[in-house]
């Protein structure tokens, strides 16, 4: 090798080493990743909301993202799907680099991700079953998926199966505006399952429920996703929900990721410090 080639070779090796050190914390665990976020940054006006965030979510893992109100949890979750456009950084979701996708490819990627919001976003005057059938629109479109009554039989049966998985088989025909908050959120979970997602994101999925309904729905949600071996990233401002239901906890404070730890080892003092002003 000539001395110039050698110098270039060394420079390249140093650059690789630097990258390796930077991602060592997130790359420690082996196994396929469903989410990889690197140096993600987002500003709203002059305010930096997310400051060079990096983390991985391993396939099949349940990961809780915690942080005080306004910490940027929802922004981070939405950036993962480019529902909000990040300013910098890269996001790999289910093996696809989100920032390189055109609109059509992005739509296809989003269809593989079940998203459950704090408020269920169901169509109130339609039945639970029809709302779940709507989840199939992620894979197929057309009037056949507008109402359960006109949906193909196999779609209707699949929707019923999804409702049964959340314990609501007996409520299929009921209008969702007559269901309780916990039941509505379970319908929203069934609708997300109907997408046959590869990955599920949830933004404070039980924050609008009373504590006991919240526990019940969280337990059901996590059990269901574990059984289906689905990767799960959810936000919460409830510490117990984070440490009890997740495999790993990410903590966001002042735009930085200050905690990335297995839930069983997440230090309770450090966790509480996330909320100190």
Q: Tokens 């996708």 — which residue? A: 101
Q: Is 74 in the site for ligand ADP (CB under 6 A)?
A: yes
What minimum distance in Å lies between the beta carbon of 179 and ligand ADP?
Answer: 26
The single residue among 49, 200, 218, 250 that binds ligand ADP, judged by CB under 6 A, is: 49
Q: Is 67 in the site for ligand ADP (CB under 6 A)?
A: yes
| Residue 72 binds which entry of ligand ADP, Mg ion, none, CB below 5-8 Å type-dependent | ligand ADP
Task: Report whether 136 contacts 155 (CB < 8 A).
Answer: yes
Backbone phi, then psi, for 93, in 5-degree steps? -125, 125
Measured distance CA(80)–CA(103) in Å, rounded: 15
Query: Residue 256, SS3?
Result: strand
CB closer to ligand ADP, 71 vs 155? 71
Q: Is 71 in the site for ligand ADP (CB under 6 A)?
A: yes
The single residue among 73, 156, 241, 248 that binds ligand ADP, judged by CB under 6 A, is: 73
What minimum distance in Å lies between the beta carbon of 238 and ligand ADP?
Answer: 13
Measured distance CA(88)–CA(77) in Å, rounded: 15
CB closer to Mg ion, 73 vs 134? 73
Query: Of 113, 116, 74, 75, which Cα lies nearest the Cα of 95?
Result: 113
| Residue 67 binds which entry of Mg ion, ligand ADP, none, CB below 5-8 Å type-dependent | ligand ADP
Query: Of 157, 137, 159, 154, which Cα lies nearest the Cα of 146?
Result: 137
- DSSP tag of 204: S
- Binding residues for ligand ADP (CB under 6 A): 44, 49, 67, 69-75
- Binding residues for Mg ion (CB under 5 A): 73-74
């Amino acid at each position: 090798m000539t001395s110039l080639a050698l110098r270039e070779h060394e420079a390249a090796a140093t650059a690789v080493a630097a990258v390796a050190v930077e991602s060592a914390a997130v790359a420690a665990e082996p196994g396929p990743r469903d989410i990889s976020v690197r140096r993600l940054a987002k500003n709203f006006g002059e305010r930096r909301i997310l400051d060079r965030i990096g983390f991985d979510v391993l396939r099949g893992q349940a990961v809780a993202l915690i942080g005080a109100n306004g910490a940027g949890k929802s922004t981070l979750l939405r950036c993962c799907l480019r529902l909000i456009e990040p300013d910098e950084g890269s996001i790999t979701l289910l093996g696809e680099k989100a920032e390189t996708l055109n609109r059509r490819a992005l739509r296809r990627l989003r269809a593989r991700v079940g998203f459950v919001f704090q408020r269920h976003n169901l169509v109130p005057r339609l039945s639970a079953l029809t709302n779940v059938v709507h989840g199939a629109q992620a894979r197929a479109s057309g009037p056949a998926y507008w109402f359960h009554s006109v949906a193909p039989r196999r779609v209707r049966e699949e929707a019923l199966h999804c409702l049964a998985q959340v314990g609501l088989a007996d409520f299929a025909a009921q209008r969702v505006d007559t269901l309780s908050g916990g039941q509505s959120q379970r319908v929203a979970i069934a609708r997300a399952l109907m997408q046959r997602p590869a990955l599920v994101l949830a933004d404070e999925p039980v924050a609008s429920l009373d504590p006991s309904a919240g526990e019940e729905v969280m337990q059901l949600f996590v059990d269901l996703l574990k059984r289906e071996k689905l990767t799960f990233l959810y936000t919460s401002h409830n510490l117990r929900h984070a440490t009890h239901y997740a495999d790993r906890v990410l903590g966001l404070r002042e735009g930085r990721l200050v905690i990335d730890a297995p839930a069983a080892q997440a230090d309770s003092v450090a966790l509480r410090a996330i909320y100190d002003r």
